[in-house]
């Protein structure tokens, strides 16, 4: 600069003489600032640095969506004065991509040095990747039912009653190309092996990578209802009890046969199945015109088991015979002889 300025003194003096003092002062100030900038840019130490610049998507229409995975940032190597390099590290510099005019299809956008607005004095040496490829698709919304995936068998004597999911569907927004190929969502495997009671579980959805990016990790509540497996059995010789009698009666016949659905585990644990039933008739139902009464049979209620279901009773109606006093006396006498 020392050589440059003296060599042009006459030229500077000639220029200054043709302007007013105010203009002369402004020109001198501008010249001083130019000299300072030159020194700042050229004279300061130059350094190279590689920066990661994020891609910023602007003005994407509301009915469109980017359907592919693309690199969300660019690696840029720049050179500049040390002080400016330090400053740009603190600045929020992005690679802006304006999609205001985007249409469905594939867009290849070239990343050039002037694509990123760096301050004057910063030179871009390298930019990677050179291109950003975007797949633009229609944005749609679709209701997808959720199906449980089940394997294994419940404990012996039990079977699956029903399985309920909460929620049983999801409304998903995303690219048309992805959602058009989806008919339903599925859970991870729900293992029923050895289960002996109803329960509720939290189960994740088994999503493809595309759906995982749209939905994220999703969990549903699965309500599993088990029921005891029953077997239909015919049980004979169930004694009939006479109720509401003002005197002694005997039932004719004295036993009935019952067909019933009994829990499988209860059958296994009961040595005599007739113990599970109570049969009775009411003496009040006997009249001169009606000599027979209906037999009522109920199953014994056993904790932790489903109720026994009565299918049929044979015979459904029976007769009652009053025991007379002499018959009672003979019965007592016969009982006394047996005791001796």
Q: Which two tokens stand for residue 234?
A: 């015919």
Helical axes 9-17 vs 21-38, angle rounded to 10° = 140
Per-residue pLDDT of the chain (340 residues; tens, 9 = 90+): 444 444 455 545 554 445 566 677 777 777 777 666 655 555 558 899 999 999 999 999 999 999 998 999 999 999 998 888 888 888 889 999 999 999 999 999 999 999 999 988 899 999 999 999 999 999 999 999 999 999 999 999 999 999 999 999 999 999 999 999 999 999 999 999 999 999 999 999 999 999 998 999 999 999 999 999 999 999 999 999 999 877 788 889 999 999 999 999 999 999 999 999 999 999 887 776 677 899 999 999 999 899 999 999 999 999 988 876 544 554 455 445 544 4
Q: What is the pLDDT of residue 42?
A: 54
Q: What is the pLDDT of residue 3?
A: 43
Domains in the chain, start-ordered, CATH in brackets? 46-138 (2.170.120.30), 139-228 (2.170.120.40), 230-339 (2.170.120.30)
3-class SS at 166? strand
Q: For 301-324, what is each residue's pLDDT tens digit?
A: 999 899 999 999 999 999 988 876
Does the model's pTM come out above 0.75?
A: no
Q: For 66-112, what is each residue's pLDDT tens digit?
A: 999 899 999 999 999 888 888 888 888 999 999 999 999 999 999 99
Q: Judging by beta carbons within 10 Å of its beta carbon (0-12, 13-18, 19+), is residue 33 exposed, middle or buried?
A: exposed
* Distance from C-alpha of 67 to C-alpha of 136, rounded to nearest angstrom: 6
One-character DSSP codes across 113-163: GGGS-PPTT-EEEEEESSEEEEEEEEEEEEEEEEEEEEES-PSTTEEEEEE
**Are the C-beta atoms of residues 208 and 193 closer than 8 Å to each other?**
no
Q: How far is CA 152 from CA 99, 168, 208, 222, 245, in A?
A: 52, 22, 24, 16, 55
């Amino acid at each position: 600069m020392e050589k440059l300025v003296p060599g042009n003194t006459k030229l500077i003096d000639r220029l200054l003489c043709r302007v007013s003092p105010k203009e002369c002062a402004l020109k001198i100030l501008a010249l001083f600032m130019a000299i300072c900038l030159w020194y700042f840019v050229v004279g300061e130490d130059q350094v190279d640095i590689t920066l990661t610049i994020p891609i910023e998507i602007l003005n994407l229409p509301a009915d469109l969506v980017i359907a592919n995975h693309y690199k969300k940032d660019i690696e840029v190597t720049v050179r500049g004065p040390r002080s400016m390099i330090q400053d740009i590290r603190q600045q929020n510099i992005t690679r802006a991509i304006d999609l205001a005019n985007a249409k469905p299809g594939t867009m290849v956008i070239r990343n050039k040095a002037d694509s990123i607005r760096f301050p004057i004095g910063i030179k871009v040496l390298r930019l990677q990747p050179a291109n950003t490829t975007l797949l633009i698709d229609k944005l749609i919304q679709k209701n997808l039912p959720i199906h449980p995936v089940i394997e294994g068998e419940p404990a012996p004597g039990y079977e699956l009653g029903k399985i309920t999911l909460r929620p049983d569907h999801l409304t998903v927004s995303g690219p048309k190309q992805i959602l058009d190929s989806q008919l339903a969502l599925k859970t991870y495997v729900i293992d029923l092996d050895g289960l002996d009671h109803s329960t509720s579980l939290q189960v994740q959805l088994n999503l493809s990578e595309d759906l995982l990016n749209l939905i994220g990790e999703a969990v549903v509540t699965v309500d599993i209802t088990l029921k005891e497996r029953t077997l239909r059995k015919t049980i004979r010789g169930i004694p009939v009890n006479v109720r509401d009698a003002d005197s002694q009666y005997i039932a004719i016949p004295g036993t009935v046969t019952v067909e019933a659905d009994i829990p499988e585990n209860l059958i296994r644990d009961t040595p005599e199945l007739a113990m599970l039933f109570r049969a009775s008739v009411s003496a009040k139902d006997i009249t001169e015109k009606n000599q027979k009464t209906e037999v009522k049979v109920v199953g014994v209620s056993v904790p932790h088991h489903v109720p026994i279901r009565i299918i049929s009773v044979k015979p459904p109606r029976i007769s009652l015979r009053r025991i007379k006093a002499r018959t009672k006396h003979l019965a007592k006498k016969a009982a006394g002889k047996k005791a001796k």
